[in-house]
Amino acid sequence: DTGVSQNPRHKITKRGQNVTFRCDPISEHNRLYWYRQTLGQGPEFLTYFQNEAQLEKSRLLSDRFSAERPKGSFSTLEIQRTEQGDSAMYLCASSYRTSGHNEQFFGPGTRLTVL
Amino acid sequence: AQTVTQSQPEMSVQEAETVTLSCTYDTSESNYYLFWYKQPPSRQMILVIRQEAYKQQNATENRFSVNFQKAAKSFSLKISDSQLGDTAMYFCALGVGETSGSRLTFGEGTQLTVNP
């Protein structure tokens, strides 16, 4: 297993365009998380899935953001009508839920730049 | 709501010496976990060490250990025998119980530089 992968690694787009990011978690991990990290800050939680169900969304996730995990495997995060304030690193993490709190394994992130 | 505060934006240490990174947190949950993650430059975040709140014994992982003071809501990371490869941004993170899906709340980070 090669760990959590994210594509693309970098995305430059113009304001108003739509962008989509993909995350492939570690196989057999049933939980998948999206975080956003701006420069010099810690990651902020956006949303998480258990299998294909999206169980929680942060208030940071405006109506322009949508995430899916259609078959409980990979996930996509789409941002519609991008704004300059959306420029950030988007991190994906996965974990395997058992009792207690398991380690989240992070991907390398997708760095978004909105011009 | 959960909060995590790291009051040291930057720290430096000489190779082979010991350094301590500070972290305080706040939560009303009784069931929670604390983590230190390391994010090297342009590389992905990896877990350094974790602590279950119900355990009184401080966690250790090779050169890394924590000082967990539950009453004071303090969770510091000690790195012994610092190595050049320890240069990274370090994040303290709090994970509460199942009611919040185990999502993590991160601090602002501490940039650690190990000097030769």
Residues of A in contact with B50 (CB under 8 A): 103
pLDDT, tens digit, 9 for 90 and up, residues A3-39: 999 999 999 999 999 999 999 999 889 899 999 999 8
Instruction: For chain A, give percent helix, strand, coil, nearest 5.
Output: 5, 50, 50
Q: Is B47 on the interface with A (CB under 8 A)?
A: yes
Per residue of chain B (116 residues), give pLDDT as tens: 899 999 999 999 999 999 999 999 999 988 889 999 999 987 889 999 999 888 889 999 999 999 999 999 999 999 999 999 999 999 999 998 665 557 899 999 999 999 99
d(CA B86, CA B113): 8
Q: Which residues of A touch B52 (CB under 8 A)?
A: 100-101
What's residue A99's pLDDT? 55
Kindly determine whether residue A41 and residue B45, on different chains, have CB atoms separated by under 8 Å: no
pLDDT(A2) > 80:
no
Please write the tens of the pLDDT for every residue from A67-109: 999 988 999 999 999 999 999 999 999 988 765 567 899 999 9
Residues 6 or more apart in contact with residue A79 via CB below 8 angstroms = A18, A19, A20, A64, A65, A86, A112
Can you give the C-alpha Rg of chain B in angstroms? Answer: 14
Instruction: Decide if B44 and A95 are in contact by the 8 Å CB cutoff.
Output: no
- Chain A contacts of B99, Cβ < 8 Å? none
Cβ atoms of B95 and B33 within 8 Å: the answer is yes
d(CA B71, CA A46): 30
Cβ–Cβ of B108/A103 closer than 8 Å? no
Cross-chain residue pair B102–A43, CB shorter than 8 Å: no
CA-nearest residue of chain B to A49? B101
**Residue that has been written with the tokens 């998380």 in this structure:** A33
- The answer to whether the CB atoms of B46 and A44 lie below 8 A apart is no
Q: Rounded CA gap, B50 and B60, in Å? A: 9
